[in-house]
Amino acid sequence: MEVINQLLIHIGTWIESTITAMGPWGIALLMAIESCNIPLPSEAILPFAGYLVSKGVFSIHTAAFFGAIGCVIGSVPSYLLGSIGGRPFIEKYGKWFLISKKDLETADKWQKKWGDWAFFICRMLPVVRTFISLPAGILKANFPKFIAFTFVGSLVWSYFLVWVGIKFGMHREAFKHIWHKFDVAIVVACVILFVLYLHHHFKNLKES
């Protein structure tokens, strides 16, 4: 538990230092990394940006806009990788991105049911939002629509998480006491969710 706690602290410190040093472009950079199939959670990035908004460093609109821009920038390489490589690529190398045939079939079903709106919806779902660009490319989703839905969905998600950070900043002392009471429980919950996520994907990979 101590190792995990220290790891989370280091990640949090790096996120804070990046945004502090680079401002809005730091937000864009970190969100781009998240959208490149790298599980760097926006749930840790944008609330800190919101905290800085509460201190008057920049506006909520700036933080949310650069968050969405970062998502678009990071999504493009993943989309192109999926589009060029196609299904054979995911069948051969999908395990490195924790994406299985079953995940691709699920993406197929989502797109058939919701059309291009599926990409808008996925951008507001934790974990899923990180990996949706690769399947979108494989499914040959309309690129301009994909970019548009990625931006709008990410903008909504960014506004929400930045708002959470603003509320934290406005009531920092109150939240600080609550955090100290529940920090261990939060770490445990994050670890459990991450393990369950890995278990689900490795199970799908074995079944593929």
The DSSP string of 115-131 is TTHHHHHHTTSTTHHHH
Q: Tell me, what's the pLDDT at 75?
A: 92
Whether residue 40 is predicted with pLDDT greater than 90 in this model: the reply is no
CA nearest 132: which of 99, 156, 155, 159?
A: 99
- Domain enclosing residue 123, as ranges: 2-207
Our count of domains for the chain comes to: 1
**What CA–CA distance (Å, rounded) separates 74 from 136?**
13
29-43, 45-59, 138-152, 170-184: which has the minimum mean pLDDT? 170-184
Beta-carbon neighbour count of residue 2 at 10 Å?
Answer: 6
Are the beta carbons of 157 and 125 closer than 8 angstroms? no
Q: Tell me, what's the pLDDT at 5?
A: 58
Using alpha carbons only, give the angle 200, 111, 137 rounded to the nearest 5 degrees. 80
Greatest distance between any 2 Cα atoms in the chain: 53
**What CA–CA distance (Å, rounded) separates 87 from 103?**
12
**What CA–CA distance (Å, rounded) separates 54 from 165?**
8
Can you say whether residue 17 is alpha, beta or left, with left for phi > 0 and alpha for psi between -120 and 50 degrees?
A: alpha
Whether residue 44 is predicted with pLDDT greater than 60 in this model: the reply is yes
pLDDT cut 90: percent of the chain above it: 25
Higher per-residue pLDDT: 51 or 99: 51
Higher per-residue pLDDT: 18 or 13: 18
47-85 b/e (C-beta count within 10 Å ≥ 16 → b)? bbbbbbbbeeebebebbbbbbbbbbbbbbbbbbebbbeb
Tens-place pLDDT, residues 80-108 = 988 888 778 777 776 666 666 676 777 77
Cα of 10 vs its chain's centroid, Å: 18
